[in-house]
Structure 1
């Protein structure tokens, strides 16, 4: 099924579902004669046209590596003045051309970086616009955190959201932790889940203190309901036993005391991306 020119319901990790983008690329190139254009002209066309052709697709789906490589190859060949089917030597690495001008490149930008930036924007919207209908649907399928901070989600489901979650996990395995670039600021605690959300440190409290999480009679509680004046002995199914449970309970109490030492302000999401990074996240 196709909706507004984009396949819906298919497995977009398969290369054959991206053939429409490749065809559009090659059809554009066939209309231009690279050898008749100056380097500046080819650079302008690459930035304004070729780089934006797959934007609609990339804002919903994570592009397969094979398709990404093919599109970058088409852009590179056009930039060096090679016609379709011809072979011409490149005197400068294409990765150098993709780099920003501050790093000695031409500021073209890679298709992969654009794809990741567009998809991560959905994560940003999920964390900011909690009242939207689509977010309620995501939470109903993937849990309160949308599967963003957990490892368990429907891997057999080939939905756009599962593709975004897979992208985040793949990049994290490569040392690029996108979620670490988002940080919560403490607030009144009414809209943040105590156990499920990452609101203090880099992990959920459910993962840090699994024994106490199992004892909590209301696991979907918000932060405000687990801080003073609320008492823990009224929310636990039973008192923590010795050993691991007692140790985790004492650590959790110290954790809460350190949090209270910082005071409570309004909860917000802030970006910690440096200005020289891959992209800037904007809420507008």
Structure 2
């Protein structure tokens, strides 16, 4: 805020103000937002600083806001200017960290966090941890966003739970639907694969899985039963998560205020150290 108040834009066109806002003001908190989830109040203050700079003729004097900021934040193809929504962009950056933990489970940071927070589980499953760090709490808040577009890619199937993990290739990946009350709650996808022919066992699928899911499952190619199961992202062509695609999901699919309230961790412990 103080840096913006010192800027003068008397001789700047709207294009120049846009470049200055995007390249400096919007980029300043990017490094912090890739690690920590900013409280909503701070996100509002940053958005307010951008809005005041954009509409005023000579900061710190306030100008007339000729349009709602929700419209200004829209992409250019939707009639907006294309400024980033701070909270949603923050979630997209944190989801990138969570994606790396999932894709590279043998990295040093993944092994450290696994030993502390999800030793017998996955970072994508909800786990209760005693006295979690603010970094882990922040990264965990991006779980909901990542699950909206994340799908487990089947190789061996040994690591994927049939009734719990998102592996069915629908718009939003989901677990399989049972044909009857679940008899084997811990069934793995590998149990549905004929280990001799390395193909789907149609008989087992008909016995356990809902008929509507069977064509979707059979469309999945089993590339190799010796590789570990990986993840793919539904909103990019190569299946790899990007912050740009994550921001689109956060802006368009993660809409409700109830979700946004849940996504803000407590900062009481941080304030205690201030």
Q: TM-score range by the shorter chain?
A: 0.5 to 0.7
Name the CA distance, whole Å, in 1 between partners of 2:150 and 2:128. Answer: 21
1:211-250 deviation per Cα after TM superposition (whole angstroms, max 9, x unaligned): 633xx6xx9xx754674449xxxxxxxxxxxxxxxxxxx5
Deviation at 1:271, TM superposition (A): 1.9
2:245 aligned residue? 280
- 1:146 maps to 122
Tell me the TM-score normalised to structure 1 length.
0.63
Cα 1:57/1:204, change in 2 over 3 Å: same
Contact 1:80 1:90 in 2 (8 A): yes
Structure 1 unpaired stretches of 5+: 1-24, 170-176, 231-249
> How far does the alpha carbon of each residue in 1:139-198 deviate from its partner, in whole angstroms, 9 at most, with x for none?
222244434233x322742331222223444xxxxxxx53131122322335x3436643
Within 5 Å, which residues of 2 pair with 1:193-208? 193-194=160-161, 197-200=165-168, 202-203=173-174
**What do you get for the CA RMSD once the two structures are aligned?**
3.7
- Higher relative helix content: 1
Secondary structure in structure 2 of the residue aligned to 1:109: coil
TM-score, length basis structure 2: 0.65
The size of the alignment, in residue pairs, is 222
> Secondary structure in 1 aligned to 2:245?
coil
- d(CA) in 2 for partners of 1:142 and 1:204? 20
Corresponding residue to 2:208 among 248, 251, 276: 251
SS for the counterpart of 2:161 is coil
Q: Specify the structure having the higher radius of gyration (Cα).
A: 1
Given that 1:147 and 1:153 are in contact with CA atoms closer than 8 Å, whether structure 2 keeps it comes out as: no
1:264 has 2:222 as partner: yes
CA–CA separation in structure 2 for the residues paired with 1:278 and 1:124 = 10
C-alpha contact 1:113 1:278 (8 A) present in aligned 2: no
The residue matched to 1:183 in structure 2 has which SS? strand
The answer on whether the counterparts of 1:98 and 1:110 sit within 8 Å (CA) in structure 2 is yes
2:37/2:91 contact within 8 Å kept? yes
Q: Quick check: 1:35–1:81 contact (8 Å CA) kept in 2?
A: no
**Counterpart contact for 1:58–1:119, Cα < 8 Å:** yes
- Give the Å deviation of 1:112: 2.1
Q: 1:263 to 1:58 in 2, by over 3 A?
A: closer
